[in-house]
Amino acid sequence: MSVTKGIAFAAGGVKGATHIAFLERSGDVFDVVTGSSIGAVVGGLYALYGEPALVKDITFSLMKKHFEDLKKTESENTWRGLFQRSLFKADLLFSVLKEAFGRKKFSDCKKTLGVVVFDTENMDSLLVTEGFLIDAVVASSSVPGYFEPIWIGGTPSLDGGVLAPTPVSQARELGADFVVASAFNRERKDGFKNHFEMFFVMDRWKEILLEREELSKADFVVIHDVNEPWNAFDKYEEIYRKALKNLRGVILPW
């Protein structure tokens, strides 16, 4: 009896370069794909084309071409965010990702794809499996506080990583018998210098706890050793090369 293999790609900005390294290492063996945030970008491209090399070319081309736009998220004044709902309009993400997804729909994919977003009205994760890919991927990539919510399924939605940093359960929901999780080491920082840092530390700790529970449901977990900030997009090649090197010693279960 054939086994339906699923891959769940974690949220993490530029750290998603490690997902591409893992796809190159594993090869095109997955039937079901789920992802949050950058995991939705990489997962969406993989589900659409089924070619790891093409996923790398498109993703890295976007990061290189739009580096200056993406870098804006590093230097934005923190105080500005205290007085408005978001720092950036969704147009920034749409302008970057439209080159990758255009008018493609979920129905155009070669793999079963689920993009996870955070439903801000019901305060729960929402698994998107139909419609235009770009709408779902942009919503899933809309980091809270940085980008405005995107309307999906009649509700304003944000980054899927809010409640599903690595969407393993969603891969099961879509029919995967054997689920591989591609995730990152998310360091816990115990100290903070001010109340701003305190919020970030608390949020990171909640993310770690959520992900621990989700990863326990996977059949095989790959934790990539990467500590760069999510928006350090100038380091995508360095992160990718390091991941490739570290994956050489990984014995895959098939």
Reported as a pLDDT band with limits 50, 70 and 90, residue 110 is very high
What pLDDT shows up at residue 82? 40
Q: For residue 152, what are the CA distances in angstroms to 33, 73, 129, 144, 246?
A: 19, 24, 11, 16, 37
Task: Report pLDDT digits (tens) over 174-197.
Answer: 999 999 999 998 765 555 555 545
- Cβ contact 134:115 at 8 Å: no
Q: Is 105 helix (H, G, I), strand (E, B) or coil?
A: strand
45, 113, 167, 187, 214 from 179: Cα distances, Å = 19, 14, 10, 24, 11
Query: How is domain 5-250 classified at the CATH fold level?
Result: Cytosolic phospholipase A2 catalytic domain (3.40.1090)
Q: In the chain, count of helices (H) and strands (E)?
A: 9, 8
pLDDT tens-digit series, residues 37-55: 999 999 999 999 999 999 9
pLDDT attached to residue 77? 44
The token duo for 198 is 């305190």
Pick 152 or 187 by higher pLDDT: 152
Q: What is the structure's pLDDT at 81? A: 45
The catalytic residue positions are 37, 159
Apex 125 CA angle, 253 and 210, nearest 5: 60
CB of 140 within 8 A of CB of 170? no
- Give the 3-state secondary structure of 19-31: HHHHHHHHCCCCC
The token duo for 160 is: 């899927």
DSSP helix/strand/coil, 180: strand
Please indicate whether residue 186 or residue 171 has the higher confidence score (pLDDT): 171
Q: Where are the beta strands (DSSP E) in the chain?
A: 5-9, 32-36, 112-119, 124-128, 150-152, 155-159, 178-184, 220-224
